[in-house]
């Protein structure tokens, strides 16, 4: 125990730097994932057939082990000189985030009370007005829940991306294992856990703030 | 004014939901579409604001064929109230009520003024509810707000799809009466769906009784009750139709058919007001201890006596 605290005392700056790296990776990939997943989820509510195909594809992506996905991307992205590093990690996290984000958005919009939808239509809202004024606000808690799931998922998978040189807290675990340094592994693991809990908590606050008061 | 001309709707597969309906609802008239479930009443209503397509025929609102109008614009000019109130849970009461004026781009001042007016109209103090959310209100209050929302942009025509159907009987009856008072002031052209004959009798100027998408009878409530045109109508109005229809007649209607002498001294029975319903009078007279009642005359006299026989004679006349 003393040993571990001693390690933390000597390496806190390094751990902090890796945490920042990890958050950058998450920030970039989640922003892009939301920008793709939310509009796609909304669009799918208008196209039932495409919806089942896309949701199935997203489910399949989630079952691919992350190491395998990185492996597949190396030769592809090598053609543009980005086989390892930040870019493949971001792409992987975007792909893994799609299922929770698309599925929750799709369900949120589809689950809006048909009576409310009918009233919105009957009083003369356009399709876009219904979406902005009624369907998205009422679906907000569920959409945000999807983003939270995607975040926690990405924090975990982001650690594995250290193997392809993306940086982040996974580096501590990776190096700790190869050097047989238990304290290093422990520091990385604990930092990732704290990050996951903090992100989930923070997003929950955001969810409450952005969800309309009346629902 | 709403005019249906030979309107039909056939679903793919040949099921006819609406079969050659022609109907004119005059300006300021309150018409109830009545019938068992599946008779097409809601479909007929939803055709007016183009939530349902028409297969054949045409509908005109305020003299304009609805097919020539922009769907979105025409819906904003028609009030629409549904059973489960359809209030938007994410909006405050003010936002809910003012949703159509907002879409129409009214100024903030004009909206606030209109909100106050409407809330006073439905008997809910505007200041107490402005910032509340729908879930904080009781079912009856939510339905009142639903009515206020439909009235917001002062539409000449209102469509109401069983608006009071989900309320408990006591609240329903109270809101029906409030709504009648509002209608007396505003004189909207109203098309109202109901499956409840008592509600229809209470509210309607005229009733359209539908079965399998066809009009069975289009008449004033008293006519429908007392002079049903076919077996379906007489069965639908029920065996107590005469009793129900007495609700629609007042003491003064009875007086008009009789020439009652004025009573000297104090009458030996209850004295009814000219606006009391005949059903009320009959219910009073049916008690074995009472033989006669009296009615107030126009010039402050008390006329009578009136007995059960007089009401029987009146019923013979209205059902003849």
**Within an 8 Å CB–CB cutoff, is residue B105 touching chain A?**
no
Alpha-carbon gap, residue A74 to A62, rounded angstroms: 19
Write the DSSP assignment of A47-111 as a string of letters. -HHHHHHHHHHHHHHHHS-HHHHHHHHHHHHHTTT-SSSHHHHHHHHHHHHHHHHHHHHHHHHHT
Domains of chain B: 2-237 (3.40.50.300), 251-319 (3.90.1280)
**CB < 8 Å to A123, chain B:** 75-76, 80, 99-100, 103, 149-150
Q: Supply φ then ψ for residue A113, to 5 degrees.
A: -45, 120
| Pick from B259, B249, B319: nearest CA to B281 | B249
Alpha-carbon gap, residue B80 to B84, rounded angstroms: 12
Nearest residue, CB atoms, B76 vs list A113, A119, A123: A123
| Residue pLDDT, tens place only, B179-214 | 999 999 999 999 999 999 999 999 999 999 999 999
- pLDDT value of position B179: 93
Each residue's pLDDT, cut to its tens digit, for chain A (215 residues) gives: 778 888 888 888 889 999 999 999 999 999 999 999 999 999 999 998 999 999 999 899 888 888 888 888 888 888 888 878 889 899 999 999 999 999 999 999 999 999 999 999 999 999 999 999 999 999 999 999 999 999 999 998 988 888 888 888 999 999 999 999 999 999 999 999 999 999 999 999 988 888 887 77
What does pLDDT average to over chain B? 91
Is residue B215 within 8 A of residue B23, CB to CB? The reply is yes
Question: How many Cβ contacts (< 8 angstroms) between chains A and B?
Answer: 74
- pLDDT value of position A99: 92
Confidence bin at B239 (pLDDT 50/70/90): confident
Domain ranges of chain A: 2-210
Is residue A86 within 8 A of residue A166, CB to CB? The reply is yes
**Within an 8 Å CB–CB cutoff, is residue A119 touching chain B?**
yes
Beta strands in B164-252 (DSSP E): 189-194, 206-211, 214-219
* Average pLDDT for B116-125: 93
What's the number of CA atoms in the CB half-sphere (13 Å) around residue A42?
17
**Within an 8 Å CB–CB cutoff, is residue A121 touching chain B?**
yes
What's the number of CA atoms in the CB half-sphere (13 Å) around residue A123?
35
Is residue B232 within 8 A of residue B64, CB to CB? The reply is no
| Residue pLDDT, tens place only, B287-315 | 888 888 888 877 778 887 888 888 888 88
The DSSP symbol for B264 reads P
CB contact under 8 A, A214 and B133: yes
Q: For the domain A2-210, what is the CATH superfamily, name and number?
A: MetI-like (1.10.3720.10)
| Pick from A214, A178, A113: nearest CA to B86 | A113
Alpha-carbon gap, residue B80 to B150, rounded angstroms: 5
Beta-bridge partner residues of B211:
B214
pLDDT of B129 above 80: yes
| Residue pLDDT, tens place only, A36-51 | 999 999 999 999 899 9
pLDDT of B244 above 90: no
- pLDDT value of position B185: 92
Question: Residue B19, SS3?
Answer: strand
| Pick from B88, B35, B100, B54: nearest CA to A115 | B88
What sign does the CA torsion over A69, A72, A74, A79 have? negative
Q: Which of A113, A123, A131, A132 to mutate to test the interface with B (most CBs of B within 10 A)?
A: A123
* Average pLDDT for B152-161: 94
- pLDDT value of position B25: 96
- pLDDT value of position A73: 86
Confidence bin at B253 (pLDDT 50/70/90): confident
The DSSP symbol for B85 reads -
> How close are the terminal C-alpha atoms of chain B, in Å?
32
Closest Cα in chain B, distance from residue A125 (Å) = 7
* Average pLDDT for B30-56: 94
| Pick from B250, B209, B253: nearest CA to B231 | B209
* Average pLDDT for B141-153: 94
Residues 6+ apart with CB under 8 A from B263: B294, B301, B302, B303, B304, B305
- pLDDT value of position B99: 95
């Amino acid at each position: 125990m003393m040993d571990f605290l001693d390690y933390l005392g000597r390496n806190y700056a390094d751990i902090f730097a890796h945490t920042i790296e990890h958050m950058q990776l998450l920030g970039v990939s989640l922003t892009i994932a939301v920008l793709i997943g939310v509009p796609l989820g909304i669009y799918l509510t208008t196209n039932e057939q495409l919806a089942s195909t896309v949701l199935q594809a997203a489910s399949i992506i989630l079952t691919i082990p992350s190491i395998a996905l990185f492996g597949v991307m190396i030769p592809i992205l090598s053609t543009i000189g980005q086989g390892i590093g930040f870019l493949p990690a971001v792409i992987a996290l975007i792909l893994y985030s799609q299922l929770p984000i698309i599925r929750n958005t799709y369900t949120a919009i589809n689950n809006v009370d048909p009576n409310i939808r009918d009233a919105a239509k009957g009083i003369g809202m356009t399709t876009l007005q219904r979406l902005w004024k009624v369907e998205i606000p009422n679906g907000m808690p569920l959409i945000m829940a999807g983003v939270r799931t995607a975040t926690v998922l990405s924090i975990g998978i982001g650690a594995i991306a250290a193997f392809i040189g993306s940086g982040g807290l996974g580096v501590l675990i990776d190096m700790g294992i190869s050097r047989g340094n238990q304290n290093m592994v422990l520091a990385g693991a604990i930092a990732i856990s704290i990050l996951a809990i903090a992100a989930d908590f923070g997003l929950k606050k955001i969810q409450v703030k952005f969800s309309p008061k009346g629902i | 004014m709403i005019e249906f001309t030979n309107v039909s709707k056939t679903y793919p597969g040949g099921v006819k939901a609406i079969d050659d309906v022609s109907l004119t609802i005059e300006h300021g008239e309150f018409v109830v579409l009545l019938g068992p479930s599946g008779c097409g009443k809601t479909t007929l209503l939803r055709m007016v604001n183009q939530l349902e397509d028409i297969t054949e025929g045409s509908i005109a609102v305020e003299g304009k064929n609805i097919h020539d109008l922009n769907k979105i614009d025409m819906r904003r000019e028609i009030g629409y109230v549904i059973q489960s109130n359809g209030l938007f849970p994410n909006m405050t009461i003010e936002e809910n009520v003012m949703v159509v004026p907002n879409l129409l781009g009214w100024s903030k001042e004009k909206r606030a003024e209109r909100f106050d007016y409407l809330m006073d109209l439905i008997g809910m103090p505007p200041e107490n509810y402005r910032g509340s959310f729908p879930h904080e209100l009781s079912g009856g209050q939510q339905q009142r707000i639903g009515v206020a929302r439909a009235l917001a942009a002062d539409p000449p025509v209102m469509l109401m799809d069983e608006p009071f159907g989900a309320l408990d009987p006591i609240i329903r009856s109270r809101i029906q009466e409030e709504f009648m008072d509002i209608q007396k002031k505003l004189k909207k052209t109203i098309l109202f769906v109901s499956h409840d004959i008592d509600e229809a009798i209470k509210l309607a100027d005229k009733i359209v009784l539908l079965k399998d998408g066809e009009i069975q009878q289009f008449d004033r409530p008293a006519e429908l009750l007392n002079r049903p045109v076919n077996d379906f109508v007489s069965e639908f109005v029920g065996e107590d139709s005469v009793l129900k229809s007495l609700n629609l007649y007042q003491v003064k209607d009875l007086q008009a058919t009789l020439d009652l002498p004025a009573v000297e001294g104090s009458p030996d029975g209850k004295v009814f007001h000219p606006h009391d319903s005949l059903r009320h009078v009959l219910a009073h007279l049916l008690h074995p201890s009472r033989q006669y009642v009296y009615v107030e005359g126009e010039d402050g006299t008390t006329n009578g006596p009136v007995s059960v026989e007089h009401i029987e004679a009146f019923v013979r006349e209205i059902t003849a």
